[in-house]
Amino acid sequence: MAPIRTAFIGISSSTSSWAAKAHLPYLVSQRGREKFEIVALYNLSVEAAQHAIKIYDFPPTTKAYGDPEKVAADLDIDLVVNCTRVDLHYTTTLPSVRAGKAVYVEWPLAHDVDHARKLASAARQSGSRTVVGNQGRISPIVLKIKELLGQELIGKVLSSEFRASGGPFDGDIVSLQYKFLTQKASGGNVVSISFAHLWDLVQSVLGEVVELRPNLQIQRSNIRVIDPHTMSIVETVRTDVPDLINITGTIAPSDTVVDGAKLLARYRRGEPFPEEPALVWVINGEREIRLVSPGSSALHATAYFKPVTLEVHSFASGSIQRVDWSWSDWKKELPIVSRSVGALYEAFTDQTQLPIQAFDLATHRLEQLYGILADKNIQQN
The pLDDT tens digits along the chain (381 residues) read 799 999 999 887 777 789 999 999 999 999 999 999 999 999 999 999 999 999 999 999 999 999 999 999 999 999 999 999 999 999 999 999 999 999 999 999 999 999 999 999 999 999 999 999 999 999 999 999 999 999 999 999 999 999 999 987 778 899 998 899 999 999 999 999 999 999 999 999 999 999 999 999 999 999 999 998 899 999 999 999 999 999 999 999 999 999 999 999 999 999 899 999 999 999 999 999 999 999 999 999 999 999 999 999 999 999 999 999 999 999 999 999 999 999 999 999 986 667 667 999 999 999 999 999 999 999 987
Residue 177, class by beta-carbon neighbours within 10 Å (0-12 exposed, 13-18 middle, 19+ buried)? exposed
Q: How far is CA 61 from CA 4, 39, 44, 75, 337, in A?
A: 16, 7, 20, 15, 29
- Class for domain 136-350+362-375, per CATH? alpha beta
Enumerate the CATH 3.30.360.10 domain ranges in the chain, comma separated. 136-350+362-375
- The separation between CA 66 and the C-alpha centre of its own chain, rounded to angstroms, equals 26
Write the CB contacts of 289 (distance below 8 Å, at least 6 apart in sequence).
145, 148, 149, 153, 154, 282, 283, 310, 311, 312, 313, 323
Write the CB contacts of 241 (distance below 8 Å, at least 6 apart in sequence).
181, 182, 183, 184, 189, 190, 191, 218
Cα separation, 48 vs 112, whole angstroms: 27
Classified as helix, coil or strand, 334 is: coil
Q: Which residue type, as a one-letter code, is found at position 255?
A: D
Q: pTM for this one? A: 0.96
Say if strands 130-132 and 102-105 run parallel, antiparallel, or are unpaired. parallel
Q: How many CB atoms lie within 10 A of CB 202?
A: 23
Cα separation, 230 vs 45, whole angstroms: 29
Cα separation, 250 vs 213, whole angstroms: 9
* H-type alpha helices, 230-312: none
DSSP 21: I
| Among candidate residues 370, 18, 359, the one with its CA nearest the CA of residue 195 | 370
Cα separation, 219 vs 187, whole angstroms: 20
Cα separation, 325 vs 139, whole angstroms: 10
* H-type alpha helices, the chain: 18, 24-27, 30-35, 46-55, 68-73, 89-98, 113-126, 140-150, 196-206, 329-332, 336-348, 358-372
| Among candidate residues 122, 130, 67, 66, the one with its CA nearest the CA of residue 99 | 122
DSSP 253: P
Q: Which residue type, as a one-letter code, is found at position 3?
A: P
Enumerate the CATH 3.40.50.720 domain ranges in the chain, comma separated. 4-133+351-361
pLDDT of residue 169: 77
Residue 31, class by beta-carbon neighbours within 10 Å (0-12 exposed, 13-18 middle, 19+ buried)? middle
pLDDT of residue 11: 87
Residue 81, class by beta-carbon neighbours within 10 Å (0-12 exposed, 13-18 middle, 19+ buried)? buried
Q: Is the dihedral of CA 252, 110, 347, 289 positive or negative?
A: negative
Q: Which residue type, as a one-letter code, is found at position 328?
A: S
Q: Which residue type, as a one-letter code, is found at position 373?
A: L
Segment (H or E) for 128: none
Which CATH number describes the domain made up of 4-133+351-361? 3.40.50.720
Q: How many residues does the chain have?
A: 381
Q: How far is CA 342 from CA 89, 246, 312, 375, in A?
A: 21, 32, 29, 37
Cα separation, 203 vs 207, whole angstroms: 5
Cβ contact 147:174 at 8 Å = no
Helices 358-372 and 113-126: crossing angle, nearest 10°?
170
